[in-house]
Amino acid sequence: MRVSRINQSTCLGCDLTPFCFNNEKLKQKFQSNSLPVKRRFIIKKNERLFSSDSHFQYLYAIEKGSLKAVQSEPDGTEVIRGLYFAGEILAYDAIYLGYYHFSAIALTEVQVCMLDYQDFLSCLESNPELQRHILYLISSQLSMGSYLTSTKADRKLACLLLDLSLRLHRNHRRDEFELPMSRQDIANYLRLTAETVSRIFTRFQQNKMISIKNKKIKILQIDALKKIADGLNLTP
């Protein structure tokens, strides 16, 4: 992994910012020598943050950019098991397993911050607010990507677009955004083919629900999109 250390002062924040180990609040509570080891760095597009099956030691906070979680199937194919965006924490599932469940690969240039899990646990002991917060954060992961179980391709794609429109900008929805991934990656994540994704995109455009220019997406009728995401066909 190529690592460029960057200035500490450039922190862009994440889900743990209110409890960040750099915060003055926490500095007062702990001796500074007990603060978690922390490094912040940038990886380039298509580079790997960590590899599947490697030993779990760090949680990663994404400050900027997007990542995909890639898992190898027994038959050799690779499936995308998750998408992660700026502000989010990566690798909660490894807490249980003890190793990373998947490889994390940058979809764009990515700025991350690594948190030593053991140090994190030490911090947790004397910080009840952080205890509550981390349970809250992990709990939120349980309902993520539940739309993947849908059997309808247009429904899955509508859900993904709504998901992206929120999560690409730290849960502030925007009706205009840039797809951080290829059609093939979208298809892989949704368990479809790139052809099907392409066909549904054109259908959505014909219905004037969205417009697409390369990777630039604009949601034109969010209510119509939400109806499809809810499994309600416009023409039942």
Partner DNA sequence: CGCCGTATTGAGCGCTCTCAAGCTAGGTGG
Partner DNA sequence: CCACCTAGCTTGAGAGCGCTCAATACGGCG
Note whether 230 binds DNA by CB under 7 A.
no
- Burial of 111 per CB tally in 10 Å (0-12, 13-18, 19+): buried
- Residue 99: how many CA atoms within 13 Å on its side-chain side? 9
Find the angle CA(213)-CA(214)-CA(219) to the nearest 5 degrees: 45
Joined together, the tokens standing for residue 58 give 């760090």
Give the containing element (helix H, strand E) for 194. helix 194-206
CB of 122 to DNA, least distance (A): 43
**Which residues within the stretch 145-184 sit at the binding site for DNA (CB under 7 A)?**
151-154, 182-184
The CB-of-82 to a second copy minimum distance in angstroms stands at 9
Query: Which of a second copy, DNA, none sits in contact with 22, Cβ below 5 to 8 A by type?
Result: none
CB 177 within 8 A of CB 186: no
What is the rounded CA–CA span in Å between residue 157 and residue 199?
11
Q: How far is the CB of 158 from DNA (least distance, A)?
A: 11
Q: Which does 96 bind (CB under 5 to 8 A by kind): DNA, a second copy, none?
A: a second copy
Q: Is position 95 an interface residue for a second copy (rule: CB under 8 A)?
A: yes
When binding is defined by CB under 7 A, the residue of 11, 20, 194, 220 that contacts DNA is: 194
Asked whether position 146 contacts a second copy by CB under 8 A, the answer is yes
Q: Which residue from 66, 49, 45, 61 is spatially nearest to 13, judged by alpha carbons?
A: 61
Q: Count of alpha carbons within 13 Å of 54, Cβ hemisphere only?
A: 11
Q: Which one among 134, 157, 160, 179 touches a second copy, defined by CB under 8 A?
A: 134
- Segment interacting with a second copy, rule: CB under 8 A, options 45-53, 60-68, 108-116, 118-126: 118-126
Specify the 3-state DSSP secondary structure of 150: coil
Q: Give the residues lining the site for DNA (CB under 7 A).
A: 151-154, 182-184, 191-199, 201-202, 212, 214-215
Q: Give the residues lining the site for a second copy (CB under 8 A).
A: 73-75, 81, 92-97, 101, 121, 124-125, 128, 131-132, 134-143, 146, 148-151, 191, 230-232
